[in-house]
Amino acid sequence: MNNLIVPVITIDGPSGAGKGTVSQILSEKLGWNLLDSGSLYRIVAYAILKNHINLDDQVCIEQLIKSIDITYNVTESSTEVLLDDKNITNYLRDEKIGETASVIAANEIVRGYLIQKQKDFAKPPGLIADGRDMGTVIFPNALLKIFLDASPEERARRRTKQLQDKGLDVNIDEILANIIDRDQRDRNRSISPLVPADNAIVIDSTNLSINDVVSYILESYALLRK
Protein backbone atom coordinates (compact mmCIF):
# COMPACT_ATOMS: atom_id res chain seq x y z
CA MET A 1 0.00 0.00 0.00
CA ASN A 2 1.27 3.47 -0.86
CA ASN A 3 2.26 5.25 2.33
CA LEU A 4 0.31 8.32 1.19
CA ILE A 5 -2.96 6.51 1.96
CA VAL A 6 -1.80 5.04 5.26
CA PRO A 7 -3.35 7.07 8.12
CA VAL A 8 -0.70 8.96 10.08
CA ILE A 9 -0.99 10.85 13.36
CA THR A 10 2.01 13.07 14.03
CA ILE A 11 3.06 14.01 17.56
CA ASP A 12 5.58 16.85 17.53
CA GLY A 13 6.94 18.94 20.35
CA PRO A 14 9.97 19.71 22.52
CA SER A 15 11.89 17.32 24.75
CA GLY A 16 10.02 16.31 27.89
CA ALA A 17 6.53 17.25 26.70
CA GLY A 18 5.37 13.63 26.89
CA LYS A 19 5.51 12.76 23.19
CA GLY A 20 7.11 9.35 23.69
CA THR A 21 4.68 8.09 26.32
CA VAL A 22 1.64 9.48 24.53
CA SER A 23 2.76 8.02 21.20
CA GLN A 24 3.40 4.61 22.76
CA ILE A 25 -0.09 4.48 24.29
CA LEU A 26 -1.76 5.66 21.08
CA SER A 27 0.12 3.01 19.12
CA GLU A 28 -1.08 0.31 21.50
CA LYS A 29 -4.70 1.50 21.60
CA LEU A 30 -5.02 1.86 17.81
CA GLY A 31 -2.82 -1.11 16.94
CA TRP A 32 -0.71 1.12 14.67
CA ASN A 33 3.00 1.18 13.96
CA LEU A 34 5.19 3.53 15.97
CA LEU A 35 8.00 5.79 14.79
CA ASP A 36 10.28 7.32 17.41
CA SER A 37 12.21 9.57 15.04
CA GLY A 38 14.46 10.80 17.82
CA SER A 39 15.93 7.31 18.11
CA LEU A 40 17.21 7.53 14.55
CA TYR A 41 18.99 10.81 15.27
CA ARG A 42 20.29 9.39 18.53
CA ILE A 43 21.80 6.38 16.80
CA VAL A 44 23.70 8.68 14.43
CA ALA A 45 24.78 10.70 17.47
CA TYR A 46 25.89 7.47 19.14
CA ALA A 47 27.96 6.54 16.09
CA ILE A 48 29.53 10.00 15.94
CA LEU A 49 30.49 9.93 19.62
CA LYS A 50 31.70 6.34 19.42
CA ASN A 51 34.00 7.28 16.54
CA HIS A 52 35.16 10.51 18.26
CA ILE A 53 34.09 12.68 15.32
CA ASN A 54 33.97 16.46 15.73
CA LEU A 55 30.45 17.78 15.18
CA ASP A 56 31.81 20.44 12.82
CA ASP A 57 33.64 17.91 10.65
CA GLN A 58 31.19 17.59 7.75
CA VAL A 59 33.50 15.36 5.70
CA CYS A 60 33.89 12.76 8.44
CA ILE A 61 30.19 12.87 9.30
CA GLU A 62 29.28 12.25 5.67
CA GLN A 63 31.78 9.38 5.44
CA LEU A 64 30.38 7.89 8.63
CA ILE A 65 26.79 8.06 7.41
CA LYS A 66 27.74 6.35 4.17
CA SER A 67 29.49 3.54 6.05
CA ILE A 68 27.01 2.69 8.81
CA ASP A 69 23.90 0.58 8.44
CA ILE A 70 20.86 1.79 10.36
CA THR A 71 17.91 -0.58 10.44
CA TYR A 72 14.88 -0.94 12.65
CA ASN A 73 12.52 -3.61 13.88
CA VAL A 74 9.00 -2.21 14.12
CA THR A 75 6.10 -3.82 15.96
CA GLU A 76 2.71 -2.41 16.87
CA SER A 77 4.03 -1.07 20.16
CA SER A 78 7.77 -0.52 19.91
CA THR A 79 10.70 0.33 17.69
CA GLU A 80 14.13 -1.26 18.00
CA VAL A 81 16.96 0.66 16.38
CA LEU A 82 20.03 -1.22 15.19
CA LEU A 83 23.49 0.03 14.25
CA ASP A 84 25.35 -2.39 12.00
CA ASP A 85 22.98 -5.16 13.16
CA LYS A 86 23.63 -4.41 16.85
CA ASN A 87 20.60 -3.44 18.91
CA ILE A 88 21.62 -0.36 20.89
CA THR A 89 18.12 0.92 21.68
CA ASN A 90 18.71 0.76 25.43
CA TYR A 91 21.82 2.95 25.18
CA LEU A 92 20.18 5.81 23.33
CA ARG A 93 18.61 7.71 26.26
CA ASP A 94 21.91 8.99 27.62
CA GLU A 95 21.83 12.76 28.13
CA LYS A 96 25.03 13.30 26.14
CA ILE A 97 23.60 11.41 23.18
CA GLY A 98 20.40 13.45 23.41
CA GLU A 99 22.32 16.72 23.36
CA THR A 100 24.41 15.55 20.40
CA ALA A 101 21.29 14.40 18.55
CA SER A 102 19.80 17.87 18.96
CA VAL A 103 22.91 19.42 17.42
CA ILE A 104 23.09 17.07 14.42
CA ALA A 105 19.35 17.46 13.81
CA ALA A 106 20.31 20.77 12.19
CA ASN A 107 22.88 19.06 9.97
CA GLU A 108 21.61 18.93 6.39
CA ILE A 109 23.63 15.81 5.56
CA VAL A 110 22.21 13.88 8.50
CA ARG A 111 18.65 15.07 7.90
CA GLY A 112 18.78 14.13 4.24
CA TYR A 113 19.97 10.65 5.12
CA LEU A 114 17.18 10.04 7.63
CA ILE A 115 14.18 11.56 5.83
CA GLN A 116 13.36 8.54 3.67
CA LYS A 117 14.03 6.12 6.52
CA GLN A 118 11.38 7.91 8.55
CA LYS A 119 8.87 7.95 5.69
CA ASP A 120 9.31 4.19 5.29
CA PHE A 121 7.62 3.65 8.66
CA ALA A 122 4.23 4.57 7.16
CA LYS A 123 2.76 1.10 6.73
CA PRO A 124 -0.73 -0.37 7.30
CA PRO A 125 -2.76 -0.22 9.39
CA GLY A 126 -1.44 3.22 10.38
CA LEU A 127 1.41 5.13 12.00
CA ILE A 128 1.97 7.22 15.11
CA ALA A 129 4.97 9.43 14.29
CA ASP A 130 6.76 10.98 17.26
CA GLY A 131 9.32 13.71 16.60
CA ARG A 132 9.96 17.38 16.03
CA ASP A 133 9.15 17.86 12.34
CA MET A 134 6.79 14.97 11.64
CA GLY A 135 3.86 17.19 10.72
CA THR A 136 5.84 19.93 9.00
CA VAL A 137 8.40 17.98 6.94
CA ILE A 138 8.14 14.19 7.06
CA PHE A 139 4.36 13.70 6.89
CA PRO A 140 2.87 17.03 5.75
CA ASN A 141 -0.30 15.24 4.61
CA ALA A 142 -0.89 13.45 7.92
CA LEU A 143 -4.49 12.78 8.90
CA LEU A 144 -4.04 14.42 12.33
CA LYS A 145 -1.22 16.62 13.56
CA ILE A 146 -0.56 17.25 17.24
CA PHE A 147 1.96 19.65 18.76
CA LEU A 148 2.49 18.68 22.39
CA ASP A 149 4.10 21.28 24.63
CA ALA A 150 4.68 21.99 28.33
CA SER A 151 6.55 24.59 30.35
CA PRO A 152 10.34 24.12 30.61
CA GLU A 153 10.01 23.80 34.39
CA GLU A 154 7.45 21.00 34.15
CA ARG A 155 9.47 19.19 31.51
CA ALA A 156 12.58 19.43 33.71
CA ARG A 157 10.60 18.03 36.65
CA ARG A 158 9.39 15.08 34.56
CA ARG A 159 12.85 14.36 33.19
CA THR A 160 14.41 14.55 36.66
CA LYS A 161 11.87 12.10 38.05
CA GLN A 162 12.38 9.77 35.09
CA LEU A 163 16.14 9.65 35.67
CA GLN A 164 15.81 9.38 39.45
CA ASP A 165 13.43 6.44 39.00
CA LYS A 166 16.29 4.76 37.14
CA GLY A 167 18.54 5.28 40.15
CA LEU A 168 20.52 8.17 38.68
CA ASP A 169 21.73 11.15 40.72
CA VAL A 170 20.68 14.22 38.73
CA ASN A 171 20.38 17.96 39.29
CA ILE A 172 17.09 19.52 38.23
CA ASP A 173 18.70 22.93 37.66
CA GLU A 174 21.18 21.43 35.21
CA ILE A 175 18.41 19.55 33.43
CA LEU A 176 16.33 22.74 33.18
CA ALA A 177 19.30 24.63 31.74
CA ASN A 178 19.85 21.86 29.18
CA ILE A 179 16.17 21.92 28.20
CA ILE A 180 16.17 25.69 27.71
CA ASP A 181 19.36 25.49 25.65
CA ARG A 182 17.97 22.67 23.54
CA ASP A 183 14.69 24.54 23.01
CA GLN A 184 16.54 27.57 21.68
CA ARG A 185 18.61 25.39 19.37
CA ASP A 186 15.62 23.40 18.09
CA ARG A 187 13.30 26.37 17.61
CA ASN A 188 15.87 28.67 15.98
CA ARG A 189 17.72 26.33 13.63
CA SER A 190 17.50 27.26 9.96
CA ILE A 191 16.75 23.71 8.82
CA SER A 192 13.36 22.37 9.93
CA PRO A 193 12.93 24.39 13.15
CA LEU A 194 10.67 23.10 15.91
CA VAL A 195 7.33 24.80 15.17
CA PRO A 196 3.72 23.58 15.07
CA ALA A 197 2.40 22.70 11.63
CA ASP A 198 -0.09 25.26 10.34
CA ASN A 199 -3.00 22.85 10.85
CA ALA A 200 -1.74 21.20 14.04
CA ILE A 201 -3.70 20.97 17.27
CA VAL A 202 -1.52 22.50 20.00
CA ILE A 203 -1.84 20.87 23.42
CA ASP A 204 -0.21 22.34 26.53
CA SER A 205 0.33 19.33 28.79
CA THR A 206 1.79 21.28 31.72
CA ASN A 207 -1.26 20.62 33.90
CA LEU A 208 -2.62 17.57 32.10
CA SER A 209 -2.12 13.89 32.81
CA ILE A 210 -0.94 11.50 30.12
CA ASN A 211 -4.43 9.96 30.04
CA ASP A 212 -5.98 13.40 29.52
CA VAL A 213 -3.74 14.01 26.50
CA VAL A 214 -4.33 10.56 25.01
CA SER A 215 -8.10 10.87 25.43
CA TYR A 216 -8.14 14.27 23.73
CA ILE A 217 -6.15 12.97 20.75
CA LEU A 218 -8.34 9.89 20.39
CA GLU A 219 -11.45 12.09 20.49
CA SER A 220 -9.96 14.34 17.80
CA TYR A 221 -9.18 11.29 15.66
CA ALA A 222 -12.71 9.92 16.14
CA LEU A 223 -14.20 13.21 14.95
CA LEU A 224 -12.11 13.05 11.77
CA ARG A 225 -13.45 9.58 11.01
CA LYS A 226 -17.10 10.68 11.12
- 3-class SS of residue 191: coil
What secondary structure, in 3-state letters, does 10-58 show?
A: EEECCCCCCHHHHHHHHHHHHCCEEEEHHHHHHHHHHHHHHCCCCCCCH
Q: Which residues sit in the known binding site for ATP?
A: 13-21
Q: Which residues sit in the known binding site?
A: 13-21
Element spanning 118, H or E:
helix 108-119
Q: What are phi and psi of 180, to 5 degrees?
A: -65, -40
Q: What are phi and psi of 32, to 5 degrees?
A: -100, 165
How does DSSP classify residue 5?
G
Q: Please, what is the end-to-end C-alpha distance for the chain in angstroms? A: 23
